[in-house]
């Protein structure tokens, strides 16, 4: 049964997902900052193992939200599908991801940027939590023959997410849940997968043609060229705000008000 998903309903769903990611991120940041006096090797061990449990707890919550949303959409459209199953990666997978993230962030700690190190770990935790929702949507969509689309959200959308959004609605059976779609989660990404069972169903929050036009008008022949062109355009549009953010971060780290020495 065709229907239109309101922006209000979509925003309510994505805000609930975001709340879980933010809670996980805050918990991870606080944990790292509280334990910076640990010996380095011990701290790295605890980050991997203790924060894997944080990922599991909040990831379970986002996966459950995504499964519930999937079931609500199926019921609203009158689709005869199998009840959605929440997808949650095993702890060891998360330990591995956190080991990669903490090793990559280690130079920040070596340079004395303890807050930057903690933020990097918090970002990795938030991304892991988000991944459980995206994987839940995609894997259930594949099993039940749904279509999916990537809907940008938040105040910033990266070039890669715009390129994904430009693809429009696609059969989930052709997608790879683990890979370039679900695993591409950048810092502070608020984009989410939408699903539908009826081709006439649409979402008020998603203007596929707009993103297709942005992608189509971007310079370059290859996908990589177009994404880089979009990235340059986004930077040009937002460079003043980005520069202001850099000055604020510099001032916070160095105790200056203007980003100078």
Domains in the chain: boundaries: 4-217, 218-261
Is residue 31 pLDDT above 60, yes or no? yes
Average pLDDT over residues 207-232: 89
Pick from 174-188, 193-207, 233-247: least confident: 174-188
β-pairing, 147-151 vs 4-5, is unpaired
Pick from 186-190, 214-218, 255-259: least confident: 255-259
Question: Tell me, what's the pLDDT at 122?
Answer: 95
Tokens 């790879």 label which residue? 176
Average pLDDT over residues 113-133: 94
Q: For residue 198, what pLDDT band results from cuts at 50, 70 and 90?
A: very high
Average pLDDT over residues 229-254: 64
Distance CA 161, CA 181 (A): 9
Long-range contacts of 231-237 (CB under 8 A, 24+ apart): 231/158, 231/159, 234/157, 234/158, 234/159
Q: What is the pLDDT of residues 52-104, one digit of tens each?
A: 999 999 999 999 999 999 999 999 999 999 999 999 889 999 999 999 999 99
Tokens 């997410």 label which residue? 161
pLDDT: which is higher, 48 or 174: 48
Question: Tell me, what's the pLDDT at 260?
Answer: 45
Question: Tell me, what's the pLDDT at 25?
Answer: 94
Is residue 259 pLDDT above 50, yes or no? no
Pick from 7-11, 130-134, 178-182: least confident: 178-182
Is residue 178 pLDDT above 50, yes or no? no
Average pLDDT over residues 22-47: 95
Q: For residue 232, what pLDDT band results from cuts at 50, 70 and 90?
A: confident
- Dihedral Cα 251, 253, 256, 257, nearest 10 deg: 20
**Lookup: tokens for 120:** 């990097």
Distance CA 144, CA 75 (A): 13
Q: For residue 251, what pLDDT band results from cuts at 50, 70 and 90?
A: low
Tokens 């990097």 label which residue? 120
Is residue 236 pLDDT above 90, yes or no? no
Average pLDDT over residues 128-156: 89
pLDDT: which is higher, 181 or 261: 181
Is residue 207 pLDDT above 60, yes or no? yes
- Dihedral Cα 85, 86, 87, 92, nearest 10 deg: -130
Is residue 5 pLDDT above 90, yes or no? yes
Q: Would you tell me how many other CB atoms lie within 10 Å of the CB of residue 100?
A: 11
Question: Tell me, what's the pLDDT at 190?
Answer: 83
């Amino acid at each position: 049964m065709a229907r239109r998903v309101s922006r209000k309903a979509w925003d309510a769903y994505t805000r609930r997902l975001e709340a879980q990611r933010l809670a996980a991120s805050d918990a991870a940041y606080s944990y790292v900052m509280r334990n910076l006096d640990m010996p380095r090797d011990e701290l790295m061990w605890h980050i991997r193992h203790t924060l894997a449990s944080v990922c599991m707890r909040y990831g379970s919550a986002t996966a459950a939200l995504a499964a519930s949303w999937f079931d609500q959409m199926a019921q609203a459209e009158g689709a005869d599908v199998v009840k959605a199953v929440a997808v949650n990666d095993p702890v060891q997978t998360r330990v591995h991801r956190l080991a990669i993230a903490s090793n990559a962030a280690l130079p920040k700690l070596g340079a004395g940027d303890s807050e930057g190190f903690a933020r990097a770990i918090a970002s990795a935790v938030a991304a892991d939590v988000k991944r459980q929702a995206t994987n839940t949507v995609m894997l259930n969509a594949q099993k039940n023959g749904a279509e999916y689309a990537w809907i940008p959200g938040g105040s910033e959308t990266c070039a890669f997410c715009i390129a994904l959004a430009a693809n429009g609605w696609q059969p989930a059976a052709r997608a790879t849940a683990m890979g370039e779609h679900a695993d591409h989660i950048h810092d502070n990404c608020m984009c989410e997968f939408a699903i539908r069972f009826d081709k006439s169903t649409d979402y008020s929050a998603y203007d596929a043609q707009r993103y297709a036009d942005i992608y189509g008008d971007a310079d370059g022949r290859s996908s990589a060229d177009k994404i880089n062109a979009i990235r340059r355009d986004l930077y040009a549009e937002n460079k003043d705000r980005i520069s202001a953010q850099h000055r604020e971060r510099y001032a916070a780290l160095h105790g200056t008000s203007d980003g100078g020495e």
